[in-house]
Structure 1
Amino acid sequence: MKNLILASTSTLHSQEYLEYLIPILKRHFLNCNKILFIPYARPGGVSHDDYTATAQKAFKKAGLEIKGIHEYDSPHEAVKNAEGIFTGGGNTFLLVQQLYRYDLLPVLKETLNNGTPYLGTSAGTNIAGLTIKTTNDMPIVYPPSFNALGLVPFNINPHYLDPDPNSTHKGETRETRIKEFHHHNTPPVVGLREGSWLEVKGKNIRLKGSLTARIFEANQEPFEVEPETLLNDIT
């Protein structure tokens, strides 16, 4: 049974890394001692070691130990034997390139479908969708495919932003870009605002947090869903 938390972001304004999720993590990883961390997205080009240290500091507050996947001789076995897994944010294209490089997508998908608890933030949430075509990131590297884990039956747009009526910027909004996506693709997209997350328990996908999410479907007007809404029928 899938057991996932797919968060829009790791850090809210004026808070420390993962601070708003610490109470959630304590429950989510209740039966775990050591969490496998996948730091491949490397925000700002930070090293795997430094990124892991940041995650360790946060997870320590939840009474959990973190070890980076790059510290294992076999990344494949590390995923297969993990008690819990966390994939951090950064650049989604780089993350997926590295997952393909080490042939980790099949074993990661199998492991998570079998119930190993998972936390994704930002890029780590993007990879839970069908593809990474709705990420906000620059394509700084070229992965072999845009296909992702398909743990939920739609794409996700973390850090979703509403248009600012007071802004002098007249360029594309997030909504415009997602509509462009739907000119060429049919999967729905969940616009996930900061501080929100999806809780996946088996077949149930529930919006959590205090904000609504914006749902985009091909050839349909976008609409809002309230916290605690089940998103099972968005396919």
Structure 2
Amino acid sequence: MTSRPPSPALQRYYDVVNAVIEFQIEKFCGQFVCDGFDGVLHFFTQQQAQADRTFQLRRLSALKSQLASRLKHLRMDYQTPMADHVMNRTGHVLETFPEWEGRMTLEKIKAIRPSKGYTETKEIIQPDGTVVQRIRVSTGPRPDFMEEQEAISPDGRLRLLVTQYRIKDHSSTNVTLITPTASGPIYGVQGLRPDIKAAWIDNQTVRLEMQKDDRSIVRHHEIRSLNDTIHIEYHQTDI
């Protein structure tokens, strides 16, 4: 006895969800791979498995919810290319799906007025003593203390940001790598740590210095971001 075939609507949503995920894998994966692990690829692989399970269980409502989730915060400059990809892969017009209306449009972004948050201009001290200004827009509470130091790679393409942050009883120090396409933490510890310094040895090598290396929250040794491979060296200085 063979199982009943999927309904046309179920098959239609399954095909479109898979095409949307394929597009997002192509656009977003490989942008910030930490020590060989691509967290974005892992997430989208799970999304594909979820769509497969939902399809096998004949759960049309779950596929609709998954499509709405995948479209909701889609970058505006990716909306037309994604619709073209879905058409080429499935023959379906993405704009005709009700879930398309739930995506974040420019009009919706302009209409958002966060009830909390702040905007401020920060002066960031670079290792050579020069100061740059950055405008920070946050929807969260203003920290009780925050200090940032920035280091730019010799070719000017990549940035390191060392941030000491405290809000109420929680404090941390984090080193963030910023590439042309993505950003993410490469090292982090609890507490305010003014001894942690970050510098570029060359365009592919970062040197992190600290007096002690304990309670690490994040600690990576290699970051791949598309065509860039950045190695992180750790050096403990004398106290």
> Is the TM value for this pair above 0.5?
no
Please report the TM-score for the alignment, with normalisation by the length of structure 1.
0.29
Rg (Cα) greater in structure: 2
Structure having the larger proportion of residues in helix: 2
TM-score, scaled to structure 2: 0.28
Bigger strand fraction: 2
